[in-house]
Amino acid sequence: MARKFEFLFDVGAPNAYLVHKILPEFCVVHDADAVYKPVLLGKIFKATGNRAPMLRYADAPAKLAYEQLEFMRFIRQHHIDAFRMNPHFPVNS
């Protein structure tokens, strides 16, 4: 019997899109079912006193650059060749 887990995602979040692309294979490998739950990431940031990485790392350019490097590594590792960053990002979801 497959285990279930919730995949919380914001439709405007690039990381959520990337995870969505690899989730089917992950579920097969781990005998799991993802239950998609849309959220408003901006509201979660506000409720938890957190900020989006581009704001959180605004005064630390090396951290932001490293986060972007990891983002690109994920894309390459999982062969998500069709991904293009939304030129209007961040969007207000």
Q: Domain spanning 3-77 has what CATH number?
A: 3.40.30.10
pLDDT tens for 24-70 read 999 999 999 999 999 999 899 899 999 887 788 888 889 989 988 99
pLDDT tens for 2-32 read 899 999 999 889 999 999 999 999 999 999 9
Place of tokens 């957190």: 50
Place of tokens 């894309």: 75
Cβ neighbour number for residue 13 with a 10 Å cutoff:
20
85 pLDDT band, cuts 50/70/90, is confident
Q: What are phi and psi of 83, to 5 degrees?
A: -70, 135
Rounded Cα distance, 4 and 32, in Å = 6
pLDDT at position 93 = 66
Q: Tell me the domain boundaries of the chain.
A: 3-77
- Give the pTM: 0.81
Cβ neighbour number for residue 55 with a 10 Å cutoff:
12
